[in-house]
Amino acid sequence: MGCEAATKEEVATKEQAAAQEQVAIKTEVVTKGVATTPDAANKIEAEKETGTPDNAASTLTSTDDQTIVSSSIVTGLESLTVLDLRQRLADGELTAVAITRFFLDRIIAMNNLGPRLNAIIQTNPDAIAIAQELDRKFAESGPTGPLHGIPVVLKDNIDTGDAMETTAGSLALAGHHAKDDAFLTARLRAAGAVILAKANMSEWANFRSNDSSSGWSSVAGQTRNPHVLDRNTCGSSSGSAVAVAAGLSPLAVGTETDGSIVCPAGINGVVGIKPTVGTVSRRGIIPISHTQDTAGPMAKTVLGAAILLEALVGYDPRDRGARRFPTPVNFMPETQTLDLNGTRIGVLRSFFGSGKYPGVERIFTSTIETLTDLGAEIVDPVRIESTSTLRDAEFAVMKFEFKAGIAEYLGEHGNPNNLATLADLIAFNNANATSVMPLFGQNVFTESEAMAGLSDPAYQTALEGSALLVRRAFTEAFSEHDLDVLIAPVNAPAWKTDWVHGDRFQLSSSSLAAISGNPSVVVPAGYISSLPVNIAFIGPAFSEPVLIQVAYAFEQATRAFQPPRFLPTLETDQ
């Protein structure tokens, strides 16, 4: 979602609000998840002098001895892949408890101290107990599933029927404990995962205001980019992407309506998969649009993301838009060959322009050359136009569906503030504007509230002008050029976080897959001034295995991923 220029009065108001928030933050430590000690609180207070404001960041300590762990010693496992961790568990070199404790300690060291990434809202106080039970089962009968003992972080709009809250980053839902796991959460537990923590996110998944700062929430404040700390993380799955990039967790789950998995994955330089809409259940996820919403995996590698996707995908008859893969699928790529002979790849240029971002153009050109060297047949260009009319229709669909969907979620789940409708949320925000809206308002909420119901003819018109139109154009392009995959850049380098003017998106290719409901896989492709740029591999519905195979071949050929360096800033404004 874009942002509009602010008036001078708005700028002054926002600057004053930001200053007031910084003062408030320095006098308050809010604790969630695991208990903190006085020494820990003192250390965190000291860190606030140099850290970014974080309205209610959780203070965490080791679950082992309640002592703060220095970031200088919390290293070792963060660079291991999911396959590495699984092998060490199988060989008896590691236990689920050891892995879980390591990542909990690293969250303390990197999220709350050190670079103060603010990617994690709360840790799971039961994580060690869960890991202990998994170790017991492993000793008795081996691994319980493909994710046995592997920590996973969930975005804070995904229900967990445990001690953790589900807030969508909003103080309006503070204290809300889901009665049950989301469908996907239950699948992860069945696969043996340790639900480690909840990730910070753009409040209400970036759907409250056009002037929002991605990665900021009234519950936890601003998430920081681990590559360059004053740069934005994109959103809305900000904390999920940062958690993986910074080694706070080997795996994370994000959600997307349009761009909210692929953009933060790109900006933070990790792998993200936006699945075919409906193949991963949305039940138990705070909604925006049932036409476009999906959850999806984030990992450092394509293999890691594929393993997590395997656990997430499953038909849920209680999801109104549930879809099955037409045939049994294996998401794991063939690792013995990188041969792409016979694969036809179209180059999508019309969604991001041409020649405007020389650094991105250089990386994209190199990507095309790499895919050609791997044997792919390149069709350049393939045009599927994005127009302002299309974007307006997509936004209208979201606003219609959000009003209905949030009322349904609130009605089913309840919350401590007894909010039952979007109108209730708007009223709560107005009554608590100082804490909930210190930086930006809620114009998207009010526009959504003004929409009629889903039976209104205007809703069907918007659907026909967005989802149905793009699906037809997508099908025609793939048929005309006999394509297997489309490619496009995901992002330009991250912009500086700006609480006055909001986000500054420079390019995006997310809408084609988002509006059509089709899948995309995004993979690191290069860097501009230490800031990552990803490439998207986009395909028709249910083409995840093909996309994953092509993305894996590209990843192995380029080895572009780089761990973040936690730079405070850049000398240039690139």
pLDDT along the chain (574 residues), means of 10: 37 40 31 31 35 38 37 73 97 97 98 98 99 99 98 99 99 98 99 99 98 98 99 99 99 99 99 99 99 99 99 98 96 94 95 72 97 99 89 98 99 97 99 98 99 98 96 96 98 96 90 97 98 98 99 98 98 69
Q: Which residue has the tokens 């405070």?
A: 568
Which residues, at least 6 apart from 144, have a Cβ–Cβ distance to it below 8 Å? 134, 137, 138, 191, 192
Is 366 a domain residue? yes
Q: Which two tokens stand for residue 199?
A: 């990730």
SS3 label, residue 203:
helix
DSSP for residue 53: P
C-beta separation of 531 from 245 below 8 A: no
Residue appearing with tokens 């601003």: 222
Range of the domain at 465: 159-563
Report which residue type is found at 391: R
Output the pLDDT for position 355: 53
Question: Cα–chain-centroid distance for residue 85?
Answer: 23
Candidates 205, 178, 213; CA nearest to 54 is 213
Contact 250, 198 (CB under 8 A): no
**Structurally, how many domains does the chain consist of?**
1
- Residue 337's pLDDT is 86
Q: pTM of the prediction?
A: 0.89
For residues 363 and 330, the answer to whether their CB atoms sit within 8 Å is: no
Q: Is residue 488 part of a domain?
A: yes
CATH of the domain at 233: 3.90.1300.10
CA 442 to chain centre: 22
Burial class (CB in 10 A: 0-12, 13-18, 19+), 326: exposed
Distance (Å, rounded) from C-alpha 389 to C-alpha 410? Answer: 32
Cα distances (Å, whole numbers) of residue 5 to 143, 206, 397? 54, 17, 24
What's the confidence (pLDDT) of residue 339?
96
Q: Is residue 47 part of a domain?
A: no
- Tokens found for residue 434: 């100082």
- Residues with a catalytic annotation lie at 155, 236, 260
pLDDT given at position 39: 36
pLDDT at 574: 56
- Number of Cβ within 10 Å of residue 31's Cβ equals 17
Residue 468, in any domain of the structure:
yes
**387 in a domain, yes or no?**
yes
* Alpha carbon distance 534, 389 (integer Å): 27
In 3D space, the residue among 99, 128, 178 whose CA is nearest the CA of residue 412 turns out to be: 178
On whether residue 238 sits in a domain, the answer given is yes
Strand order in the sheet with 120-123: 120-123, 194-199, 151-155, 251-256, 294-299, 271-274, 520-528, 531-538, 485-489, 344-348, 377-382
